[in-house]
A = this chain, B = another copy of it.
């Protein structure tokens, strides 16, 4: 370790500790906190966020970066030292471009807008949310102006996909859209032969919780490094590489939520758990990007968790716990039930095929808001138009339409495309996995998941956030972001299920 790196590392450890302490405050708020703690908790989180930010954009950190950078010319780009200085400098520069006043105002408005959104969604009243959304858009436009970007959407996307440009993402999502719309048209022309009714009915929450714990134990997370709790909205968060918090929810009328939501969140946790310990307490201790993070939750949820081999492995878990519901449901029937395609209104309930259309719709509306002529007041109409065009369904109200997601109320424009990028990357990665682990299906069928985890760990997880998404895709797949493996996967899988030509 170079002596010039040590003071930088000390400063970065502090910044990391503040960030992870904040993550614990947020986890606790959503899982354990007595209701009475809410008001002070918001202040505590705001303080830690502010103190962390002040350190991140300080002159002092800039000087530490300059000193650490001197003499690193010969270090390889993906070395710990070079990556640390490069990634930290990138964050430092971004943090310094945004005035403290704009940041504080955005936090303030977002907290008000989130509450307004909750109320508006309950009453399905977009008009009540509109002024808050307009104010938020105004602030985000000011945010965009802080950067010298080619396109207004670039800085928004960059917050979640470091270094990625709108011009790279737009054609990929357009191709996913066109390919999916075509596939969906073929599927919906066929009779609906997939019966998912075994997943619906009465599933006592206590037994679902036991199923979730058993499932979690069978996925290859480091033992003694995670816990699972119940929340309204499932999420995964990391307090350290070996301190991962997964949450889930249980729907007494549908067993699928606890099943695939658990696998999804564990996918996120597996990625965090696989980061090299050298990167702990540094800005490199994270995934490459939100898209890459989502690629792992999606890969574990859909490619593995809804695939034939692993479903064969977990089929007994279901039949043992819910014998009456799964009487006569063999592995193949479970596989088909887990993969029923049915256009629907709500993103988080969407199947593997239609999911990306929900995302493309949101991405296109965001683009038009920031780069086209769309104004916020026109969103419900534009939403309904695209739902009809892409998914062939009518939107009955704002609650199940434009008001369904929290993202815009908190100002997270640029976030939505990362969901589909995650699917695109998962498909690209899965082709490599299949090519390099020839006995994969046998292992999935016996629940032997460690070799797969180790392979992903070696290629992806352990590198944390050293590389940018485009670099990592190039390194993994030998080429750029490519939507064809995803479309190919969907056509193959659902073509067989729905007996397409």
Give A contacts to B, CB under 8 Å. Answer: 13-14, 17-18, 20-22, 24-25, 28, 32-37, 39-41, 43-44, 47-48, 51, 222, 224-227, 239-244, 280-281
Q: Does A25 lie within 8 Å of B21, measured CB to CB?
A: yes
Q: With A25-B24, A47-B17 as known contacts, state yes or no: A36 contacts B280, CB within 8 Å.
A: no
> Which of A14, A32, A225 gathers most chain B CB within 10 Å?
A32
Q: Does B240 lie within 8 Å of A41, measured CB to CB?
A: yes
How far apart are the CA atoms of A41 and B17 in the complex, in Å? 9
Chain B residues, CB < 8 A from A44: 17, 20-21, 239
> Which of A13, A47, A51, A224 gathers most chain B CB within 10 Å?
A47
Q: Does A227 lie within 8 Å of B34, measured CB to CB?
A: yes
Q: Does B43 lie within 8 Å of A239, measured CB to CB?
A: no
Q: Does B225 lie within 8 Å of A43, measured CB to CB?
A: no
How far apart are the CA atoms of A498 and B48 in the complex, in Å? 57
Q: How far is the CB of A470 from chain B (nearest CB, A)?
A: 31
Q: With A25-B24, A48-B17 as known contacts, state yes or no: A40 contacts B227, CB within 8 Å.
A: no
Q: Does A225 lie within 8 Å of B34, measured CB to CB?
A: yes
Q: With A32-B32, A34-B226, A37-B242 as known contacts, state yes or no: A14 contacts B280, CB within 8 Å.
A: no
Q: Does B14 lie within 8 Å of A243, measured CB to CB?
A: no
State the majority secondary structure of interface residues on A. helix
How far apart are the CA atoms of A240 and B34 in the complex, in Å? 10
Chain B residues, CB < 8 A from A25: 21, 24
Cross-chain pairs A/B with CB under 8 angstroms, 14 sampled: A18-B48, A24-B25, A28-B28, A32-B32, A32-B227, A34-B224, A34-B225, A34-B227, A34-B243, A36-B242, A37-B240, A40-B280, A44-B239, A51-B51
Looking at the complex, which one of B13, B17, B33 makes contact with A243 (CB distance below 8 Å)?
A: B33
Chain B residues, CB < 8 A from A47: 13-14, 17-18
How far apart are the CA atoms of A240 and B29 in the complex, in Å? 12
Chain B residues, CB < 8 A from A36: 222, 224-226, 240, 242-243
Q: How far is the CB of A365 from chain B (nearest CB, A)?
A: 38
How far apart are the CA atoms of A243 and B42 in the complex, in Å? 13
Q: Does A21 lie within 8 Å of B48, measured CB to CB?
A: yes
How far apart are the CA atoms of A24 and B242 in the complex, in Å? 18
How far apart are the CA atoms of A249 and B328 in the complex, in Å? 47
Chain B residues, CB < 8 A from A43: 13, 17, 281
Q: Does B280 lie within 8 Å of A35, measured CB to CB?
A: no
Looking at the complex, which one of B28, B34, B244 makes contact with A34 (CB distance below 8 Å)?
A: B244
Chain B residues, CB < 8 A from A224: 34-36
How far apart are the CA atoms of A20 and B22 in the complex, in Å? 11
Chain B residues, CB < 8 A from A239: 33, 37, 40-41, 44
CB-nearest residue of chain B to A239: B37
Q: Does B20 lie within 8 Å of A243, measured CB to CB?
A: no
How far apart are the CA atoms of A226 and B48 in the complex, in Å? 23
Closest 6 CB pairs of A and B: A37-B243, A36-B242, A36-B225, A40-B240, A17-B47, A35-B224
CB-nearest residue of chain B to A55: B51
Chain B residues, CB < 8 A from A17: 43-44, 47-48
Chain B residues, CB < 8 A from A22: 21
How far apart are the CA atoms of A224 and B224 in the complex, in Å? 31
Chain B residues, CB < 8 A from A226: 34, 36
How far apart are the CA atoms of A36 and B32 in the complex, in Å? 20
Chain B residues, CB < 8 A from A20: 40, 44
Q: How far is the CB of A498 from chain B (nearest CB, A)?
A: 43
Q: How far is the CB of A336 from chain B (nearest CB, A)?
A: 37
How far apart are the CA atoms of A20 and B41 in the complex, in Å? 10
How far apart are the CA atoms of A243 and B33 in the complex, in Å? 7
Q: How far is the CB of A248 from chain B (nearest CB, A)?
A: 16
Chain B residues, CB < 8 A from A281: 40, 43
Chain B residues, CB < 8 A from A18: 47-48, 51
Q: How far is the CB of A223 from chain B (nearest CB, A)?
A: 8
How far apart are the CA atoms of A50 and B334 in the complex, in Å? 55
Chain B residues, CB < 8 A from A225: 34-37
Chain B residues, CB < 8 A from A242: 34, 36-37, 40
How far apart are the CA atoms of A386 and B242 in the complex, in Å? 47
Chain B residues, CB < 8 A from A48: 17-18, 21
Q: How far is the CB of A339 from chain B (nearest CB, A)?
A: 33
